[in-house]
A and B are shown apart, each in its own frame.
Chain A
């Protein structure tokens, strides 16, 4: 039984049903079992502490951003205990795509929702295409599925290095560490790097120097690798980051062996790169743990992870909700939910049933009082009134109030528990489930994922990502580092399949379809972004969109407190983070920033700190008069 809080049980055939012994089955009156969770104080208690103690003060982090998912972060820090006692995640922008989509032709979703992100628009286009395929009953031809998979694998090869070296990487660089923790940097100077034979750095300090922003070779190399990935991407997608060729029923690009060869030349550049990236992050993570075991608490959360899987098997995928459990489990990344480190399901239908979205602390009106549109899913299984198919987006802008509403993010929950949407959730679920298709390069062992990466300039190597014994900022980054090789090996498998399909004459890449002009249809795009979970829930009525709901990884991770005052994952991670910064200069908040950035938020790197004494954020459009 995968649910412990929702009143959903399973019959002898494994079919879910609503228990009839619960009078008001989806009421929020009773607090769910969340295995303890992190301790939070009430706002009254926080205000009292702030008034009575000079060593307790507010520290706010205010990123400047112009893309969806802009984030600010409010903390109250106890400087004596060196810990955070209040943490609030604030999404400062209203996304609004759900509202924009209302009343439109569903095909518009592919191009409109792509604009939700400037890094990974293609994942939204794809999730939209999958939702439309389900609603319209269209299945792509094998090559269409394989090439679409390949396109999205390439997108992650853009996304993951970008985060590892341009966004999160500088937090571990010489420029930062020597300022925030000089004793740590001195130790790094005399600490040999265990994987020097792979990455070529003699000491940890040498790695840190090359992580320096703008000048470090790892930073510059990552910039270069984003170009390699973009070049591969546009060979199929036409342009980046908003592809032009993703359509329901496949893709609209012309694919030839020449196209595939040009793509291979770029994918193979990630083989050696992935080996080095994993080695670098292994050394960085283990160095911090060895230097001070308290770093294991930086960004620590309960290991609750959710992922929808991705990269469909071209023979299994039929775009139906009825068969989603079967085709979902044949994906190259296995869908799954992990609670406290244990996998509780890999069934896409069950994952879908457990989804709910709450707005108690968000700038929206509740819709639960509205007539419930769907009491069951298309298979007759019970749906919550808080499920995305039953949700209405009702924005209600207002001033922030920590007791009430303080963010534009909602609180998605699974089985009423806060979840972590992560690139590593892909590794973790796939490793434990052991359902990945048979292939020469990736092996799931039940406790790890082994990747046999072909030789380049470096010899062939077997990398092994192991399920971590603690879930924290460092392990999120380490997992993302291993994702580079995992994704490139998935891409290599997909590339081989594409070549085989072309050789066998199966060159069709799309299937024609019609949008139904009558009746009600439901669809859902179960997919993922480079940084984790992504779903698009769609309702069509008489050929137009009457509900569209997007849940992104950053919505899940940046979620505020829920109706039971359980914090979201950014908040939990920061509340568990010890303040280990020792530098003599102004407080940098590096430990808190490492915790937040480890989730790969949409725009973490523009997170700048300010205190009540002054804002230190950069205005993008300031006059350039400060430039001499």
Chain B
């Protein structure tokens, strides 16, 4: 069992606003912030240029021992599914990193880019978990779909559980699905 009170856990949501289920990460951050967390937990909206997120992490690189990032990504999976996996920070082709940096500095906000760039600059905690939501609806909208709402509640439950028990997960996109 891991004791969070002696470490600092980053819960980071990524997503554009007003994009229906694609705003899963940003909406979840708002809900997590409304909850009480132990002193070792930081809830952050990291929905901005990943290079700037890296600048923030670089200012205090030892601040977080663990990180859990979450957001919606369209990967063609079952709509409404959740995938949870351990992020492995090696083996990413340089061309992919370069593309991600170019997109980041020109304004793209992306969970995937954040993970790739963070890995390249070795700024993510070694223990980084990712929770991806496969959107049901990706049209304009202020709220989540009914399925998205249900999954948000589940993720909050998972995150609460992470305080006392580490996830049983796969790696990079092949994690446990709900």
Contact = CB atoms under 8 A, between A and B. Distances in A.
20 contacts: A66-B108, A66-B110, A119-B107, A162-B105, A162-B106, A166-B105, A167-B102, A167-B106, A223-B105, A603-B103, A618-B96, A618-B99, A620-B108, A621-B73, A624-B115, A625-B172, A625-B174, A627-B92, A627-B172, A628-B90
Contacts of A620: 103, 108, 110, 112-113
Contacts of A624: 112, 115, 172-173
B107 A230 contact: no
Interface residues of B, number: 33
Contacts of B49: 118, 241
B9 interface: no
A605 B102 CA distance: 6
Q: Which of A65, A240, A620 has the most CB of B within 10 A?
A: A620
Contacts of A621: 73-75, 110, 112
A223 B51 contact: yes
Nearest to B103: A606
Contact of B107 (A118, A622, A627): A118
A166 B102 contact: yes
Contact of A67 (B74, B101, B107, B115): B107
B97 A214 contact: yes
B120 interface: yes
Given A621-B75, A624-B112, A213 B94 contact: yes
A56 to B, nearest CB: 29
A579 B98 CA distance: 25
Contacts of B102: 166-167, 603, 605-606
Contacts of A119: 105-107
Given A170-B98, A240-B52, A621-B75, 13 more contacts: A65-B103, A119-B105, A214-B98, A223-B101, A230-B52, A602-B106, A603-B102, A605-B98, A605-B106, A620-B108, A620-B112, A624-B115, A627-B173
Q: Which of B88, B103, B120 has the most CB of A within 10 A?
A: B103
- Interface size class of chain A, counting residues whose CB lies under 8 Å from the partner chain: 20 to 34
Contacts of B7: none
Contacts of A622: 75
Given A66-B103, A214-B120, A621-B112, A227 B55 contact: yes
B107 A117 contact: yes
Q: Which of B76, B102, B106, B115 has the most CB of A within 10 A?
A: B106
A117 B108 CA distance: 10
A226 B98 CA distance: 16
A170 B90 CA distance: 23
Interface string A231-250: 00000000011000000000
Nearest to B98: A213
B107 A606 contact: no
A623 interface: yes
Interface string A149-166: 000000000000010001
Interface string B103-128: 10111101011010000100000000
Interface of A: 64-67, 117-119, 162, 166-167, 170, 213-214, 223, 226-227, 230, 240-241, 602-603, 605-606, 618, 620-625, 627-628
Interface string B128-149: 0000000000000000000000
Nearest to B130: A624
A589 to B, nearest CB: 15
Contact of A625 (B73, B98, B173): B173
B91 interface: yes
Contacts of B97: 214
A214 B173 CA distance: 25
B115 to A, nearest CB: 8
Contacts of B173: 623-625, 627
B92 A214 contact: no
Contacts of B113: 620
A213 B76 CA distance: 31
Contacts of A223: 51, 101, 105
A166 B96 contact: no
A241 B174 CA distance: 34
Nearest to B111: A621
A623 B107 contact: no
A627 B98 contact: no
A602 B110 CA distance: 17
Contacts of A65: 103
A241 B94 contact: no
Contacts of B107: 67, 117-119, 241
Contact of A628 (B73, B91, B96, B99): B91
B67 to A, nearest CB: 16
Nearest to B75: A623
A94 to B, nearest CB: 14
Contacts of B75: 621-623
Contacts of B174: 625
A64 B113 CA distance: 14
B154 to A, nearest CB: 21
Q: Which of B90, B94, B120 has the most CB of A within 10 A?
A: B94
